[in-house]
């Protein structure tokens, strides 16, 4: 495994929370794993399978997503959608995200004054 | 200790990365612990001492901040400022933050389509 620099670690911390937000927002529409990954990638957010699939399962376990097995193109796939509790979480996290954005913008605007 | 709900945990994950960004941005100007905490609070970002002070020490250990003990108002205080490596980290993290922002905005805009 490659060495991870402190800056990379900080970047990963930054991504971790944002990915949850993007996943919940994207699953306002139903997706299976691969199509979710593709939809996020199209929006510039690359999340590898080893991160995305466990995250989705964790969010389902927490009641924020619901899933259903269905056949599509002759293959059984597990489709995920946001739950009512997930929608609530999404709205609260978005509020928090916007507050954080405003604080960071204010800090930068001040130019460290 | 109070129970933490999954949504609260997700909110904390979201904050963790953003706080590092705000601290580095704020320390483009010199601060000691208390004045840093106050400056962030004025921008709507409340970070408790038990989070902020260890974070600042960690960032210094990683070479992203420099510090100096000085006397002010008859008390010795440790003043922190961003280092050249910290500035580099700040710029890279800001780029990442902006990319994440754009991805989240795109996901929401689509309305889950």
**DSSP string over A45-113:** ----HHHHHHHHHHHHHTTSEEEEEEEETTEEEEEEEE-HHHHHHHHHHHHHHHHHHHHHHHHHHTTT-
Chain B hits for A82, CB-CB cut-off 8 Å, are 112
Q: Is residue A21 part of a domain?
A: yes
What is the mean pLDDT of the segment spanning B42-68? Answer: 96
Contact B56, B23 (CB under 8 A): yes
Q: Distance, in angstroms, between B74 CA and closest chain A CA?
A: 24
Partners of A79 in beta bridges: A32, A68
Q: In this structure, what DSSP letter does residue B71 have?
A: E
Residues of B within 8 A of A111 (CB-CB) are 28
In a domain, A1, yes or no: no
Q: How confident is the model at residue B61 (pLDDT cuts 50, 70, 90)?
A: very high
Mean pLDDT to the nearest integer, B21-38: 96
Question: Which chain A residues are within 8 Å of B84, Cβ to Cβ?
Answer: none
Q: Going edge to edge, which strands form the sheet with A75-82?
A: A31-32, A75-82, A65-72
Query: Residue B81 pLDDT > 70, yes or no?
Result: yes
The minimum CA-CA distance between A29 and chain B, rounded to whole Å, is 5
Is the pLDDT score of A55 beyond 80? Answer: yes
B39 in any annotated domain? yes
Closest Cα in chain A to B13 = A17
Q: Nearest by CB to A107, from B26, B63, B88: name it.
A: B26
- 3-state DSSP helix/strand/coil % of chain B, to nearest 5: 60, 15, 20
pTM: 0.88
Domain count, chain B: 1
What does the pLDDT average to over A20-26? 96
Which has the closest alpha carbon to B34: B24, B21, B48, B22? B48
Q: How confident is the model at residue A40 (pLDDT cuts 50, 70, 90)?
A: very high
Domain CATH number, residue B89: 1.10.10.10
Q: Is the pLDDT of residue A113 over 60?
A: no
Percent of chain A with pLDDT over 70: 96
Report which of A98, B57, A104, B64 is spatially closest to residue A112, judged by C-alpha positions.
A104
pLDDT at residue B112 is higher than 70? no
pLDDT-above-90 percentage for chain A: 81
Average confidence score pLDDT of chain B = 92
Q: Does some domain include residue B2?
A: no
Classify residue B98: in a domain, yes or no.
yes
pLDDT of residue B53: 96
> What range does the domain containing A63 cover?
7-111
Q: Which residue has the tokens 């002070």?
A: B53
ipTM at complex level: 0.90
Residue A57 lies in a domain: yes
Averaged over B57-86, what is the pLDDT?
95
């Amino acid at each position: 495994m490659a060495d991870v620099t402190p800056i990379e670690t900080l970047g990963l911390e930054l991504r971790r929370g944002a990915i949850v937000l993007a996943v919940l927002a994207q699953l306002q529409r139903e997706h299976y794993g691969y199509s979710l990954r593709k939809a996020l990638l199209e929006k510039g957010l690359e999340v590898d399978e080893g991160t995305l699939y466990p995250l989705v399962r964790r969010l389902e376990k927490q009641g924020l997503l619901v899933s259903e097995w269905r056949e599509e193109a002759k293959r059984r796939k597990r489709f995920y959608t946001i739950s009512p509790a997930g929608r609530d979480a999404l709205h609260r996290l978005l509020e928090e995200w916007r507050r954080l954005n405003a604080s960071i913008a204010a800090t930068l605007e001040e130019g460290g004054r």
